[in-house]
């Protein structure tokens, strides 16, 4: 069934753009979307792992334009985004240890 759905999507893509005319499906997988336990985004540095910044959100399609700008500023410029404060991974620290 998954292969059938993937094939139908590829056919639709080929109907829209000639670039997909020669494309083929190598394999298919069912992906699971990330959904943090409080259902809110997670954005920020992981304190226990040097250099690891995470962004997890269930609603990435709507938040991507804003998150990409804010996250880039934090990572590249070292400027903390006040809007992201409520979404820090550290809010789960006590939940992980209890």
15-52: pLDDT as tens digits? 999 989 999 999 998 888 778 889 999 999 998 899 99
Residues 21 and 67 in one domain: no
Number of domains in the chain: 2
Same domain, 18 and 49: no
Same domain, 47 and 93: yes
27 with 40, same domain? no
45 and 27 share a domain? no
pLDDT of residue 36: 85
pLDDT at 76: 96
My answer on whether 49 and 25 are in the same domain is no
Q: Determine the Cα–Cα distance for residues 58 and 9; give it in Å rounded to an integer.
A: 23
Q: Are residues 83 and 63 in the same domain?
A: yes
Residue 79 structural domain: 33-98
d(CA 84, CA 54): 12
Instruction: Tell me: do 23 and 37 sit in the same domain.
Output: no
Together in a domain, 50 and 95: yes
CA distance 14 to 26: 16
Rounded to whole angstroms, the Cα distance separating 95 from 38 reads: 11
Q: Domain check: are 45 and 17 in the same one?
A: no
Residues 55-65 have a mean pLDDT of 88
79 and 50 co-located in one domain: yes
In order, the DSSP letters of 42-82 are EEEE-TTSTT-EEEE-TTHHHHHHHHHHHHHIIIII----G
């Amino acid at each position: 069934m998954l292969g059938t759905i993937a094939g139908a999507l590829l056919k639709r893509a080929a109907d829209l753009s000639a670039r997909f005319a020669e494309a083929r499906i190598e394999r298919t997988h069912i992906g699971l979307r990330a959904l943090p336990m409080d259902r809110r985004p997670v954005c920020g540095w992981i304190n226990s792992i040097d250099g690891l910044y995470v962004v997890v959100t269930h609603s990435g399609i709507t938040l991507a334009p804003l998150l990409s700008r804010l996250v880039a500023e934090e990572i590249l410029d070292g400027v903390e985004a006040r809007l992201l404060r409520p979404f820090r991974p550290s809010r789960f620290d006590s939940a992980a240890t209890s």
